[in-house]
């Protein structure tokens, strides 16, 4: 049990710690975590950051980081500290956010979070304690375990061809464009320790200056997991580990960056701003102008993709909305869409709408042959079926149904573009059902058609469809 | 009131913005991606955060981060992605962090398909991740409710410091309906007592779900349990349709309740006394009202897009008083109202026979 010379970055008494020894840490003698903690606490204090700091503890031996650091503390799920730190920083860019992680946490279960936080250039600091072992769970192999190193899960030593090679995180992360500062240091001899202290402080300063992502890997000892005494541990670390994990700076862009160049923007909730923004989302059709719907419409519109079937449904829906009716629109989605056919269900009702799926329409529009073959039988007795006779050759059962055949695509061509065939159909539908006056539909379409240059053509298309039915 | 014709998936984001949600973290998956698309457009435009995370695991842990700051935050996904969020949700519940998670449920198990199902009911209402916890679960059945219940979810999440879930499906998400666009909430709760914000006032706080001592952890669990009992007592929301004189009570939620609503009308035209009981909160479940209806109706039918999940809660509520039947379709097959009418008829004829 080691007692800190307490920096003000630490609590003076570790109240959150269970048991009687409230002034000592829970780390084993010779453990690297204690040293690293001390350097972080001192750096936070020296830079005047402590009270603005949020320290994210991982799962691992340092899970209890919050026993010690006299700042805001989070405890994160195993491997997810970088994701938690990302969010904290994004929703308070003025906070100083530390993600403190072991090798299992950072380089095994949390590899994805680690790489992507680095790749986004999160303006956080990651302290990575590489002790080549899973300390907390009893000395299993870590991603950084050395070749030949024995652990609880490599009882005969790590073998490259079975377990893979130790991962070098600094080297990997340094291939990414975003990170600002990446260095590997060690808790070895005193010269190593001095460099480690400098690196830790530098990493925090880079964050405080808004200069982006900083990452310091600290090679440290786990005498317990390594089954060595502290002195032998230090020697093995210096003599063996540092051959695989060479110390040095892998990236250092701090001096080339302006302050706050990686600082993100965040605004807290502002009701006025939100209200203005949401109000702008309102429909272009404007206020409801109640109309009388002679009867509920349960429509199915079907055809090829690209014929504007879904838009036809949307146009009718918005006319219905402006008329103050209950409206639902539902597109066939998923694999059905892939075959090149499209269909949607539209309900307009004076009452609340039950199922949005129209299985038995009283209005069916078909703009291709397969849709006629597929859906005609579903139309309720006395229902209306509108057929684009330019595209569809057959006709429907005129005894059972009110059949409207209209060369919609030809009419659309005459108007100027095949794209308005759906609006010709809309005109025909309104004429055949008397659901709305043509003027009401036209003024609604004027409001909702976004490309103003297309309005005249749509108006003509609607009128031609409407008149075709009324005059026939 | 400002209105717009919009998709349920978009309405979720409108509700979230109005509720003061400031950060959205998500990972694409059909049929929930549109929620992310809307968030990507609107959150940054309002000075908020949108991050496309590297996975759903990461997304829910980002939610943990922002929620731990006492800021309203959310994520949305569909079934496979929702499964990945379970560990994170357990942490959020353990650390008592308010947040909202949307599940636009699709067909399972495994990769399944992208069609509507309700087979995540167990996962959503019984905890889902490890440990003793519950999600507050709301099941909208139309675009307006996608908006309104999202706002409600944020309110309940804050009130009880617990994650709340919106359970919907591809139909409710894809369907467009008229939505009254809400105004922003007037005030947000002050969480500075427990949150960790990076400001000096909260530097003494800790966001954590670890409780080492067994007695302390038992106390923590009991505290959570007491909170859950309070939610069960106070926050049940349901809707009844023609239940007063019904012989057969159909219990259905989400898109299925819409179909049943139509079918009830069809059945009534044929003289069949059928009513609909629609849970709007799936957890807490409307147990009491079902128990009450079990005193007046002669039988129940649970209709679900699953092989039978909510029906277990109906059975528990009915408690053996009257028969509880089940009708389910799954894999993305959605029953039509005629199909359901046949089922109602069969069940009710069974009664007259016996
Ligand atoms: C999801 C999950 N899987 C596994 C564990 C068990 N676990 C706790 S700590 C740990 C490894 C920690 O090793 P490392 O990150 O190297 O930290 P150290 O203890 O060595 O500092 C594991 C596997 C867990 N808590 N959560
Ligand atoms: S097990 Fe290893 S890492 Fe954990 S406290 Fe002991 S020495 Fe440190
Ligand atoms: Mg380790």
Which chain A residue's Cα is nearest to B171? A330
Cis check: omega of the bond before B296, within 30 degrees of 0 = no
- What is the rounded average pLDDT for all residues in chain B? 97
- Report the nearest-CA residue for atom 5 of ligand 2: A27
Chain-chain contact of A331 with B54 (C-beta, under 8 angstroms): no
pLDDT of residue B352: 47
Q: B137 vs B23, B120, B222, B262, CA distance in Å?
A: 21, 11, 21, 25
Q: Where are the domains of chain A?
A: 33-256, 297-470
Please tell me the total number of residues recorded for chain A in this structure: 472
Distance separating alpha carbons of residues B105 and B267, to the nearest angstrom: 29
Q: Specify the pTM.
A: 0.96
- Is the CB of A136 inside 8 Å of chain B's CB atoms? no
Q: Where are the domains of chain B?
A: 3-234, 238-348
With 0-12 CB in 10 A as exposed, 13-18 as middle and 19+ as buried, what is A165?
Answer: middle
Q: Pocket around ligand 1: residues whose beta carbon is below 6 Å from it?
A: A 59-62, 78, 102-105, 129, 131, 133-137, 142
- What is the rounded average pLDDT for all residues in chain A? 95
Q: Min CA distance, B320 vs chain A (Å)?
A: 31
- Is the CB of B202 inside 8 Å of chain A's CB atoms? yes
Average pLDDT (A130-135) is 98
- Is the CB of B291 inside 8 Å of chain A's CB atoms? no
Those residues of chain B that have pLDDT short of 50 are 352-354
pLDDT in tens, A167-195: 999 999 999 999 999 999 999 999 999 99
Q: Any idea which ligand is nearest the CA of A136? A: 1
Are B26 and B57 in contact by the 8 Å Cβ rule? The answer is no
Q: Min CA distance, B353 vs chain A (Å)?
A: 31
Predicted complex ipTM: 0.97
Return all residues near A322 (Cβ < 8 A) that are at least 6 apart. A283, A285, A286, A288, A289, A440, A444
- The CATH code of the domain at B3-234 is 3.40.50.970
pLDDT in tens, A243-301: 999 999 999 999 999 999 999 999 999 999 999 999 999 999 999 999 999 999 999 99
pLDDT in tens, A115-127: 999 999 999 999 9
- The CATH code of the domain at A33-256 is 3.40.50.970
Of the candidates A275, A318, A353, which has its C-beta nearest B184's C-beta? A275
Using a 6 Å cutoff on CB, does residue A222 contact ligand 2?
yes
pLDDT of residue A138: 96
Token pair 């539209």: residue: A346
Distance separating alpha carbons of residues A378 and B72, to the nearest angstrom: 47
Between CA A428 and CA A438, with CA A445 as vertex, the angle to 5 degrees is 45
Confidence of residue A200 (pLDDT cuts 50, 70, 90): very high
- The CATH code of the domain at B238-348 is 3.40.50.920
Q: Is the pLDDT of residue A100 over 90?
A: yes
Average pLDDT (A438-444) is 98
- Is the CB of B333 inside 8 Å of chain A's CB atoms? no
Please, which contacts does A49-52 make with residues 24 or more away whose CB atoms are closer than 8 Å? A49/A96, A49/A204, A49/A208, A50/A8, A50/A9, A50/B203, A51/B200, A51/B203, A52/A94, A52/A95, A52/A96, A52/B198, A52/B199, A52/B200, A52/B203
pLDDT of residue A1: 44
Chain-chain contact of B51 with A86 (C-beta, under 8 angstroms): yes
Are B136 and B162 in contact by the 8 Å Cβ rule? The answer is yes
Q: Min CA distance, A191 vs chain B (Å)?
A: 33
The CATH class of A297-470 is: alpha beta
Token pair 């706002």: residue: B151
In a 3-state reduction of DSSP, which class is residue A158? strand
pLDDT in tens, A397-408: 999 999 999 999
Between CA A217 and CA B45, with CA A259 as vertex, the angle to 5 degrees is 100
Q: Packing angle between helix A421-433 and helix A438-448, nearest 10 degrees?
A: 150
pLDDT of residue A232: 98
Beta strand segments in A315-428, E: 326-331, 341-349, 363-366, 384-388, 402-406
The answer to whether domain B3-234 and domain B238-348 are alike in fold is yes
Q: Is the pLDDT of residue A2 over 90?
A: no
- Is the CB of A377 inside 8 Å of chain B's CB atoms? no
Confidence of residue A32 (pLDDT cuts 50, 70, 90): very high
Distance B109 CA to ligand 2 centre (A): 41
Q: Name chain B contacts of A288, Cβ cutoff 8 Å.
A: 3
């Amino acid at each position: 049990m080691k007692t800190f010379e307490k920096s003000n970055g630490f609590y003076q008494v570790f109240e959150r710690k269970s048991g009687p020894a409230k002034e000592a840490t829970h780390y084993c003698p010779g453990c690297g975590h204690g040293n690293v903690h001390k350097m972080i606490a001192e750096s936070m204090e020296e830079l005047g950051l402590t009270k603005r700091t949020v320290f994210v503890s991982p799962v691992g031996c340092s899970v209890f980081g919050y026993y010690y650091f006299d700042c805001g503390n989070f405890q994160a799920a195993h491997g997810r500290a970088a994701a938690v730190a990302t969010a904290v920083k994004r929703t308070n860019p003025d906070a100083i956010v530390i993600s403190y992680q072991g090798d299992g946490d950072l380089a095994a279960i949390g590899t994805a979070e680690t790489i992507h936080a680095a790749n986004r250039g999160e303006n956080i600091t990651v302290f990575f304690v590489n002790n080549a072992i899973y300390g907390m769970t009893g000395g299993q192999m870590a991603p950084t375990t050395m070749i030949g190193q024995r652990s609880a899960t490599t009882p005969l030593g790590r073998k490259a061809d079975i377990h893979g090679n130790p991962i070098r995180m600094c080297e990997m992360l340094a291939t990414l464009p975003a990170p600002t500062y990446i260095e590997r240091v060690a808790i070895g001899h005193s010269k190593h320790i001095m460099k480690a202290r400098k690196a830790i402080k530098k990493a925090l300063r880079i964050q405080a200056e808004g200069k982006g992502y900083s990452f310091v890997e600290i090679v440290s000892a786990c005498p317990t997991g390594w089954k060595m005494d502290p002195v032998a541990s230090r020697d093995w670390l210096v003599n063996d580990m540092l051959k695989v994990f060479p110390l040095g700076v892998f990236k250092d862009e701090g001096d080339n960056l302006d302050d706050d160049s990686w600082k993100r923007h965040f605004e807290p909730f502002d009701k006025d701003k939100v209200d203005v923004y949401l109000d702008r989302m309102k429909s272009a059709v404007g206020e409801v102008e109640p109309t009388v719907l002679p009867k509920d419409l349960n429509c199915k519109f079907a055809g090829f993709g690209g014929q504007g079937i879904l838009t036809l449904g949307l146009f009718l829906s918005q006319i219905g909305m402006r008329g103050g009716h209950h409206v639902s629109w539902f597109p066939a989605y998923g694999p059905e869409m892939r075959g090149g056919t499209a269909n949607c269900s539209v309900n307009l009702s004076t009452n609340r709408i039950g199922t949005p799926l129209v299985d038995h329409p009283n209005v069916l529009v078909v703009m291709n042959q397969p849709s006629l073959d597929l859906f005609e039988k579903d139309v309720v007795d006395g229902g209306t079926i509108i057929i684009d006779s330019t595209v569809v050759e057959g006709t429907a059962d005129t005894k059972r149904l009110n059949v409207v055949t209209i060369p919609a695509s030809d009419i659309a061509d005459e108007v100027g573009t095949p794209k308005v065939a759906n609006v010709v159909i809309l005109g025909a539908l309104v004429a055949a059902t008397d659901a709305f006056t043509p003027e009401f539909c036209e003024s609604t379409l004027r409001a909702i058609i976004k490309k103003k240059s297309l309005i005249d053509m749509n108006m003509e298309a609607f009128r031609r469809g409407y008149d075709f039915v009324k005059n026939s | 009131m400002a209105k717009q014709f919009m998709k349920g998936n978009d309405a979720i984001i409108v509700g979230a913005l109005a509720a003061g949600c400031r950060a959205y973290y998500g990972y694409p998956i059909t049929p929930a991606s549109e929620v992310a698309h809307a968030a990507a457009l609107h959150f940054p435009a309002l000075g908020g955060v949108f991050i496309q995370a590297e996975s759903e695991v990461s997304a829910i842990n980002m939610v943990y981060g922002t929620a731990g700051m006492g800021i309203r935050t959310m994520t949305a996904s569909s079934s496979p992605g929702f499964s990945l969020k379970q560990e994170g949700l357990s942490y959020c519940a353990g650390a008592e962090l308010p947040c909202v998670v949307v599940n636009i449920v699709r067909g399972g198990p495994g990769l399944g398909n992208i069609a509507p199902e309700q087979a995540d009911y167990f996962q959503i209402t019984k905890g889902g991740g490890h440990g003793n916890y519950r999600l507050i679960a709301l099941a909208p059945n139309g675009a307006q409710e996608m908006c309104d219940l999202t706002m409600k979810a944020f309110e309940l999440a804050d009130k009880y410091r617990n994650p709340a879930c919106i359970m919907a499906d591809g139909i409710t998400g894809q369907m467009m309906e008229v939505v009254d666009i809400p105004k922003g909430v007037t005030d947000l709760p002050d969480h500075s007592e427990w949150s960790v914000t990076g400001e000096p006032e909260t530097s003494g706080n800790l966001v954590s779900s670890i409780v080492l001592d067994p007695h302390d952890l038992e106390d923590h669990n009991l505290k959570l349990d007491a909170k859950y009992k309070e939610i069960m007592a106070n926050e049940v929301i349901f809707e009844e349709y023609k239940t007063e004189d019904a012989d057969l009570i159909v219990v259905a939620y989400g898109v299925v309740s819409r179909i049943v609503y139509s079918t009830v009308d069809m059945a009534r035209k044929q003289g069949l006394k059928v009513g609909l009981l629609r849970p709007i909160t799936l957890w807490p479940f409307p147990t009491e009202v079902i128990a009450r209806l079990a005193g007046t109706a002669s039988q129940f039918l649970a209709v679900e897009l699953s092989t039978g999940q909510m029906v277990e809660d109906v059975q528990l509520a009915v408690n053996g008083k009257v028969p509880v039947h089940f009708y389910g379709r799954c894999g993305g097959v959605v029953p039509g109202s005629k199909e359901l009418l046949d089922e109602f008829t069969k069940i009710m004829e069974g009664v007259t026979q016996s």
